[in-house]
A and B are shown apart, each in its own frame.
Chain A
C-alpha cells in the first residue's frame, strides 16, 4: 500500500498569513501514461464530511477560493493557503488515488494564531 505522510501535524497561522502543508508519498504518483499526479487534497471542518479541494495535485474544484493552491509532483506535494481566513480553520488531508487501496495522509490541523 502507498503510505502518505503529512507535515506538520498542526499549524497555527495569523490571519492574512500563509499556511503551507506538505505531503509525501512512499511511491511515485505521477502516471507516465497521462502525465498526471494522482494526488488530491481535502478540507474537513468539525462535524462535517470532507470536501474535495484539489485533484491532480493542482486542479482546484469549482468554488474553491484561489488563495488555496496545490503544487508538487512525483512523491512530494504542497497545499498552500495564502492570506489565511477564519473560514480556513480545518483539518486538511492529502490522498493518493493512483492505486487501490486509496490512502490518506494523517491530516494537518490549521488554526488561527
Chain B
C-alpha cells in the first residue's frame, strides 16, 4: 500500500523558515516524480512544486519561486520542502503527492500557520 506521511508543519512568524518532510513507502520511490500541493483554510488546491526522479529538475509556482526549495533523498525515500521568507498567505495544509503528472497518491497533509 502506498503511504505518504508529511511532517514538520507548525506555527511560524512572518519572515521565518521551516522545512517540511515527507516519507514514502509502498512503492519504488526513485521511480517517481514527487510534488507538494497546498490548500489554504477553506480554499482550493494550489500546486506548489515538483521534482523529478533524480532531483535534477524542479518546477515551482511563481508565488514561491526564490523562497521555497524542493529536494529529495532517494536513499531515505523522502522529499522535502524548505520554506524561507514565509508570509501570512503561505498558511495552508501542505500535501505531499506522488506525481505521475498528475498527482496520483496523496498524504494526509501537514498544517503550516504563518502568523505573528
Binding site for B on A (CB under 8 A): 1, 38, 40, 42, 44, 49-52, 55, 61, 91, 93, 95, 97, 100-107
* Contact indicator A49/B50 (Cβ below 8 Å): no
**Given contacts A100-B59, A101-B60, A101-B61, are A49 and B44 in contact (CB under 8 A)?**
no
Among B95, B102, B109, the residue within 8 A (CB) of A52 is: B102
Query: Per-residue CB proximity of B10-37 to A under 8 Å, as 1/0?
Result: 0000000000000000000000000101
Is the CB of B66 closer than 8 A to any CB of chain A? Answer: no
Determine chain B's interface SS by DSSP, over half rule.
Answer: strand
Number of chain B residues close to chain A: CB under 8 A: 22
- Name the B residues within 8 Å of A104 (CB-CB): 44-47
Query: Shortest CB–CB separation between residue A64 and chain B, in angstroms?
Result: 12
- Name the B residues within 8 Å of A50 (CB-CB): 37, 45, 95, 103, 106
- Name the A residues within 8 Å of B35 (CB-CB): 102
- Name the A residues within 8 Å of B46 (CB-CB): 104
Query: Shortest CB–CB separation between residue B24 and chain A, in angstroms?
Result: 14
